[in-house]
Amino acid sequence: MTDLIPGNGYSDGDVDTNNTGGETLWDIAEARHSRRSVMRGGLAASSAAFLGGAMLSGCTDDVLGGGSDGGKTVAVNQEIAVSTGQSVELTASSAGQWAQVEGPEVELITEEDGRISFIAPAVSNVTTLVFSLLNGIARVLVSPAKLSFRAVDKNRDDIVTVPQGYSVTVMTRLGDPIAANVADYKNDGTDTDFDKRIGDHGDALHFFGMSQTGKRNENSSKRGLMVQNHENLNVQYLHPNGPTNVGSGPRPEAEAVKEIDAHGVSITEYKSERRAGWNWVKDSAFNRRITPNTPMQFNGPVKGSDFLKTTFSTDGTQGRGTINNCANGHTEWGTALTCEENWAGYFKRSGDDALRSARELTSLRRYGVTGGSGNYAWSSVTPANPSDTRFRRWDARASEGLTATQDYRNEPNQMGWVVEIDPYDPTSKPRKRTALGRMGHEGAWLGKLEAGRKVAVYMGDDARREYFYKFVSTATWEARDAMADNRLAIGDKYLDSGTLYVAKFNADGTGSWLPLVYGQVPNRAAVGNDPEYVFQNQQDILVNARLAADALGATPMDRPEWTACNPRTGEIYLTLTNNSSSGRPLNGTDAANPRHYVSQPGNSYGNANGHIIRIREGGDNQAATSFIWDIYLFGADSAEAGSDVNISGLDASNDFSSPDGLWFSRTQNPAGHLRPLLWIQTDDGAFTDQTNNQMLAALPGFVGDGGSRTITNVGTGGATAMQTTQAGTNATPGTLKRFLTGPLECEITGVDTTPDGRTLFVGIQHPGENGSADAPSSHWPQSQSGTNSGRPRSAVVAITRNDGGIVGL
């Protein structure tokens, strides 16, 4: 909706922020929306009676239209054919109320303009719905879910492109103020107060529904809290002329404050004031910024251990903030999970080896805490207040004569965790869940919850040759906990006690989960200069989960990113974004990471385009210790790649590279039923000569729907090697289709819908990441409305379908 886009009449201060007054248009709309119009009076069995003598006039899918938004309409004495997820308007020329008399029950929606419509339900075969009005009927033939939109072409335009019939609304952007009395963002590098503004590099997101009275409401599609991670910075755009001495310092204090505060998590109230009309509330009482300085508490087995003791937390129970929040997760009890990914790079550490034990050095090297100055050199600031430790903390060197509670040597142990946040309580203290292990956490996604079974959380550790983990709770799931008010206490119950496992994939399509349990993990063998590592206790194993997974012989993967749980089957999908020849040479392939080839541009060898693996747990129980697997999809450039690379048979309408974000539609609407809709987002550098990063919609099958496949890999100098793998069935334009492309130099990351599936939220991260303050290489989001100037900003977009149907179907 272009009327909300900056430069076209909307400014931040225009947002209606007063929720305390009388009934608003939005209140009326929600009340109408929630009123069920269905009347079922035992008529279903007698719908034939309504046929009377009237002939039904047939309408085909193609000739529908008639609605003011191009949607599908049907009137008395008509019949139409639609597919799952489409919006159908029941039109009437006379007064009266429609009632459904046959077929799977649907909710009749009274739209804001008074029209009556419904969303076609999920069906497995063509199914007839019959509706009556006065003495006539209308018939609607619903066919199973399909990707009904026309694929977006690959392109390098500086806008978000969506299919015909869809609209884009730019929502919260880098720097937008989310507190009263904070000025609009000037976007010229002079803005301050980033602890009250939307952070940079918006990443994963989730919409938490909220009622009109400000209570949690999982089914609200009109009002909610958008929780988004802020992973990193396009630092060149944050200051008037770019950053000062960003390589190794000394850094000006004001610049460092701004950069630190632009990291973390934002919580912003979103609301829809009319159909397809989204906005956000600048001074909502629920708005919150969580930054690298926000107080947190440690929970779980590592809480209070020596590993976590710092100057800030001398008893090892308290934490200070979160950093490099990449992907996420959410729980059925209404909390957000945020994950600390590339945290190690922010620390200055090199030069203190002589003051470190061999065990400490093995751990620090395994996690990459080796930097000479740390990202952005924050520790080089000399603060105006000498007791201000917000900068010094990023210097993790041990100091001679001091202990761990007198310097910042253990500060890196405070990062690398999954953090649970209660978005509905702005005063709540986030909790770091140490039972889930310490690594480069991409995300933390719950499997399918079933009463009486344990809760599983699936987690990728995103770096080359790292592993795929799952946590299984000690407690079994009780459905009543989903609606408890003490949400973080419910988190304590399921996330503080349990078993952490790491995955081992076997060549024959089976796999096992190896427990990271003290006493069952052998010593980690010596590697290079690092001697054998002897685990001392369970806390040691959780802090050094990578070392424990090494010792157990877990399968190193091609950069494990997001996971997603198919809500129908419980199968778990995992993106493996890419790998290089240095990460995995020609003879380093295995069945789960099977490809090695050359790709353009750059003549690079390895698995430049990535793949998506999926598993089915033994007994369909997510506490199982064994599974079967196959590779659902292989990324490829369809024009360039031969059949040993383009294994999934991609074509120009669905070829992609470097899958990262991955998400199945919600079960609250038909997109999550029967054959759930899957969304795939890319973070790519190998296909960007062809297209900007993209997002695809898919209707996947299941583990084992393909078969064994042997491919010929190619390395430098023409060397070849054979590799057998388990491949899923080929993609087709009906099962995989490009839905969206982003602006220049962006990554597409972050995806959710409203519970009704009629609005899709997507994160557009770091547009113009290679430009400079003088010469921005993107002007998005200004460019979305035709203004090709100004500095680029990461932002969330809300995408709606003009006819009101479920996005993607």
Instruction: Give the phi and the psi of residue 590 in degrees, each rounded to 5.
Output: -145, 180
Two tokens at 68?
Answer: 């003011």
What does 411 interact with, of ligand FEO, Ca ion, none (CB < 5 to 8 A by kind)?
none
Contact partner at residue 158 from ligand FEO, Ca ion, none, CB < 5 to 8 Å by partner kind? none
Q: Read out DSSP for 384-422? A: SSTT--TTGGGB----TT--TTTSSTTGGGGSS-EEEE-
Distance of closest approach, residue 766 Cβ to Ca ion, in angstroms: 11
Answer with the entry of Ca ion, ligand FEO, none that 756 interacts with (C-beta below 5 to 8 A by kind).
Answer: none
Taking the complex as a whole, the smallest distance from the CB of residue 692 to ligand FEO amounts, in Å, to 17
Residue number with CB closer to Ca ion (331 or 342): 342
SS3 label, residue 586: helix
* Of 91 and 577, CB closest to ligand FEO: 577
**Is the CB of 481 or the CB of 561 nearer to ligand FEO?**
561
- In the list Ca ion, ligand FEO, none, the entry touching 630 (Cβ below 5 to 8 angstroms by class) is none
Positions touching ligand FEO (CB under 6 A) are 231, 326, 341, 442, 462, 561, 660
Q: Where are any strands of DSSP class E within 35-125? A: 57-58, 72-74, 78-83, 87-90, 99-102, 109-110, 116-119
Residue 261 or 660: which CB sits closer to ligand FEO? 660
Site residues, Ca ion (CB under 5 A)? 660, 683
Q: CA dist 568 to 187, 296, 572, 625, 630, Å? A: 45, 36, 11, 21, 18
In SS3 terms, 412-466 reads as HHHCCCEEEECCCCCCCCCEEEHHHCCCCECCCEECCCCCCCEEEEEEEECCEEE
769 interface partner picked from Ca ion, ligand FEO, none, CB below 5 to 8 A per type: none
CB-based closest residue to Ca ion: 683
Instruction: Record the tokens describing residue 307, joined without a space.
Output: 């590993």
Rank residues 327 and 521 by Cβ distance to Ca ion and give the closer one: 327
Residue 231 binds which one of ligand FEO, Ca ion, none, with CB within 5 to 8 A depending on kind?
A: ligand FEO
Query: DSSP class of residue 687?
Result: S
Task: State the nearest-atom distance from the C-beta of 749 to ligand FEO, in Å.
Answer: 7
Q: What is the DSSP letter of 656?
A: B
- CA–CA gap between residue 309 and residue 472 (Å, rounded): 27
Give me the least distance between CB of 5 and Ca ion, in Å please: 26
- Distance, CA of 351 to CA of 371 (rounded, Å): 9
| CB-nearer residue toward ligand FEO: 326 or 543 | 326
Q: Closest distance between ligand FEO and the C-beta of residue 380, in Å?
A: 25
Minimum gap (Å) between residue 464 Cβ and ligand FEO? 11
* Shortest Å, Cβ 585 to ligand FEO: 22
- From the CB of 602, what's the least distance to Ca ion, in Å? 18
Name the residue nearer to Ca ion (CB basis): 660 or 769.
660
User: Which of these, 360, 397, 365, 367, lies nearest to 379 by C-alpha position?
Assistant: 397
443's CB contacts (< 8 A; 6+ apart) are 204, 326, 327, 328, 329, 337, 339, 459, 460, 561, 562, 563
* Token digits of residue 710: 């042997």
CB of 416 to Ca ion, least distance (A): 16
Closest distance to Ca ion from the beta carbon of 204 (Å): 7
Q: How far is Cα 229 from Cα 444, in angstroms, rounded to an integer?
A: 13
Residue 259 vs 617, nearer CB to ligand FEO: 259
Structural contact between residues 110 and 97, judged by C-beta atoms closer than 8 angstroms: no
Question: By the 8 A CB rule, do 805 and 795 touch?
Answer: no
CA distances from 138 to 4, 83, 123, 131, 805 (A): 37, 16, 19, 5, 19
Q: How far is the CB of 141 from ligand FEO (least distance, A)?
A: 43
Q: Which does 341 bind (CB under 5 to 8 A by kind): ligand FEO, Ca ion, none?
A: ligand FEO
In the complex with Ca ion, which residue's Cβ is closer, 660 or 745? 660
Judge whether 593 and 558 are in contact, CB under 8 Å: yes
Which whole-number Å values give the CA distances from 803 to 64, 329, 800, in the listed order? 12, 30, 9
Return the structure tokens found at 739: 């839905």
Shortest Å, Cβ 227 to ligand FEO: 16
Half-sphere exposure of 298 (CA within 13 A, CB side): 31
When CB distances are held under 5 to 8 angstroms depending on the partner's kind, the choice from ligand FEO, Ca ion, none that residue 89 binds is none
By beta-carbon proximity to Ca ion, the closer residue of 540 and 660 is 660
Choose from ligand FEO, Ca ion, none: what does 540 bind? Cβ within 5-8 Å by kind.
none
Q: Which is nearer to ligand FEO, 442 or 655 (CB)?
A: 442
| Distance (Å) of CA 737 to CA 62, 340, 614, 650, 704 | 21, 31, 19, 10, 22
Total residue count of the chain as it appears in this document: 809
200 versus 462: smaller Cβ distance to ligand FEO: 462
Cβ proximity to ligand FEO, 655 vs 660, nearer residue: 660
* Burial (CB count within 10 angstroms: exposed 0-12, middle 13-18, buried 19+), residue 60: exposed
CA distance 700 to 703: 10
Residue 126 class from Cβ within 10 Å (0-12 exposed, 13-18 middle, 19+ buried)?
Answer: exposed
Task: State in angstroms the smallest separation of the CB of 162 from ligand FEO.
Answer: 23
Shortest spacing between CB 529 and Ca ion, in angstroms: 30
Residues 6+ apart with CB under 8 A from 619: none
Choose between 683 and 756: whose C-beta lies nearer to Ca ion: 683
Of these partners, Ca ion, ligand FEO, none, which one is at the site of residue 617 (CB under 5 to 8 Å by kind)? Answer: none
